[in-house]
Amino acid sequence: MTETNAGSPHAATSEAESDAVDHSSSANIEGSPVVADSDPLLEVRGLEKHYPITRGFLRREVGRVRAVDGIDFDIGRGEALGLVGESGSGKTTAAHSILRLEEPTAGEIVFDGESVTDLSGPNLRSFRRRAQLVVQDPNEAFNPRLTVGSAVAEPLSLHGMSDESRRRAIVEDVLERVGLSGDDADRYPHEFSGGEKQRISIARALVCNPDLIVADEPTSALDARVQSDVLALLADIRREHDISILFISHDLDVVRLFCDRVAVMYLGEIVEQGPIEDVLESPAHPYTRVLMNSVPSLDPSDRTFESPLTDTIPDPGDPPSGCRFHTRCPELIPPADLAVSDEEWQTLAAFRFTIETGELPSAVDPTTVGDVDAATVREEFDLPTELADQELNRRIGSAVEAVASGDVETAGQELASVLPTVCEQVVPTQSTHRGRPVNCHRYDPDREAEPVAWRGAGL
């Protein structure tokens, strides 16, 4: 199987055909007609990857970093899914777990109708031939002492193709397909520019005729136009060979230009996913909105950013309770009986969670500044001086006093008890917004809170 399939689809049409026949026959065995929607190439269910935090001589487990904590998504045949999020959101760990470069802690990965979670030996090798990885930094992807030709041919030899002249023919062909020339096979990586090296990485991924390419920030190290070239190349290849792509990026622009669908990750979870136009046109999850609001507009007269409540990304080893985004969420849900305006609530919530993260602004940090008075604290957090609710007023006042006197812990407890939110208490279940899944209480019909209208501009 490995031997016969290990050819470029271009150079070895017969193999490509038999490969295609393989796909459809396996689909037929399960009795399902070949319809892209009902038969995704890749199904990921409940994928988890936890890293134990151990301590001491016995390496006792004292905690876990939940890098990926139960994610679900599908990728259709020939489809490109973007996986976006800040660093530390678990995007790359998810990708590595899917390729079994790291062993998942739990969950199921089904590739072309077959579970890959328990594959080993030749079956695992065959899966890895069909699912290839392209990494971000093309400078680190190559052995400087190997010619480009040997680097590109390496997967072929690994997967058992021993005929050297045949390997060479395939390599030259695949180099030409990525916009280089066959002669480039005899040159060394340092002779190529960053964009060209990334083309060579793509060539190396293509040489085994894969069905899935996992591209981890493939163009982040490149200039805008070179980036555009490489993406256009990937798009052509995807169309020509119906290759599915899992595209990992922190850059919403390239995801917008390249992907059909997008999934947004935060602290190991997917918070929202859907068709790229829909998500960018009307992002539902507050985190997606924060990401979009952080992208500078191309219009120089529009220079405002809307910030999250707090800037600190929580520790994935100790993620916040309830909705993991609640400590930064500008759309945090107020308690039903709290008589404050939306603006007041936002200000109070920002006060609360800044106190809880302990990252006090310098002006009110009692450890840096000698004497902090209550007025400075109010000013720094822009707190309303007079709230309609007398009881609330009094308790905010006492929290302010506590901050001023340096007792941040008491202030935090006071604020937590007077400003509770469902978002910290209950893990949101998956709701549906315009036909796509969103994990946010505001979209849950059983909750009183309504979605906040999206007023931002698109990208």
Footprint of other proteins (CB under 8 A): 86-87, 179-180, 193-196, 223-229, 231-233, 235-236, 250-253, 257-258, 290-291, 293-303, 305, 307-308, 311, 358-362, 365, 367-368, 457-459
Contact predicate 58/195, CB 8 Å = no
Closest Cα partner for 217 from 101, 87, 104? 87
Determine the Cα–Cα distance for residues 84 and 394; give it in Å rounded to an integer: 43
| Least distance from other proteins to the Cβ atom of residue 422, Å | 25
Whose Cβ is closer to other proteins: residue 28's or residue 368's?
368
Alpha helices in 339-386 (DSSP H): 342-357, 374-380
Select 145 or 225, whichever has its Cβ closest to other proteins. 225
Which CB, 223 or 382, lies closer to other proteins? Answer: 223
Residue 206: CB minimum distance to other proteins, A: 16
Nearer to other proteins, 119 or 235 (CB): 235
Strands (E), 378-435: 431-433
Distance CA(49)–CA(102), nearest Å, equals 8
Q: What is the C-alpha separation between 421 and 345, in angstroms, rounded?
A: 11
Token output for 126: 């065959």
Q: Shortest Cβ distance from residue 68 to other proteins (Å)?
A: 18
Q: Minimum distance between the CB of residue 337 and other proteins, rounded to whole angstroms?
A: 33
Instruction: Identify which of residues 161 and 231 has a Cβ nearer to other proteins in the complex.
Output: 231
Return the structure tokens found at 75. Answer: 């990728």
What is the β-pairing status of strands 80-84 and 261-266?
A: parallel
Cβ distance to other proteins smaller for residue 80 or 449? 80
Please calculate the CA angle 276-279-282 and round it to the nearest 5 degrees. Answer: 140
Rounded Cα distance between 273 and 81, Å, is: 10
For residues 428 and 440, give the distance between their C-alpha atoms in angstroms, rounded to a whole number.
5
CB 98 within 8 A of CB 72: no
Tell me if 148 sits within 8 A of 141, measured CB to CB: no
Residue 291 Cβ, how far from other proteins at the closest point, in Å? 6
Measured distance CA(151)–CA(143) in Å, rounded: 8
> How is 280-330 classified by DSSP, letter by letter?
HHS--SHHHHHHHHHSPPSSTT----PPPS--PPPPTTSPPSSSTTTTT-T
How many whole angstroms separate alpha carbon 6 and alpha carbon 375? 72
Could you tell me where the DSSP H helices lie in 163-219?
164-177, 194-206
Handedness of CA 90, 92, 98, 104 (dihedral sign): negative
Residue placing its CB nearer to other proteins in the complex, 19 or 380: 380
Beta carbon of residue 232, minimum distance to other proteins (angstroms, whole number): 4
| Phi (first) and psi of residue 286, to 5 degrees | -55, -30
d(CA 140, CA 48): 28
- Which C-beta is closer to other proteins: that of 113 or that of 317? 317
183 vs 448, which CB is nearer to other proteins?
183
CB of 414 vs other proteins, minimal distance in Å: 21
User: Which residue, 107 or 316, has its beta carbon nearer to other proteins?
Assistant: 316
What minimum distance in Å lies between the beta carbon of 356 and other proteins? 13
Q: Least separation, in Å, of the C-beta of 370 and other proteins?
A: 11
To the nearest whole angstrom, how small is the minimum distance from the Cβ of residue 303 to other proteins? 5
Our CB check for other proteins shows the closer of 46 and 361 to be 361
**CB 441 within 8 Å of CB 422:** yes
Query: Which helix (H) or strand (E) is 60 found in, with range?
Result: strand 60-75
Smallest gap, in angstroms, from Cβ of residue 31 to other proteins?
38
CB of 65 to other proteins, least distance (A): 16
83 versus 99: smaller Cβ distance to other proteins: 83
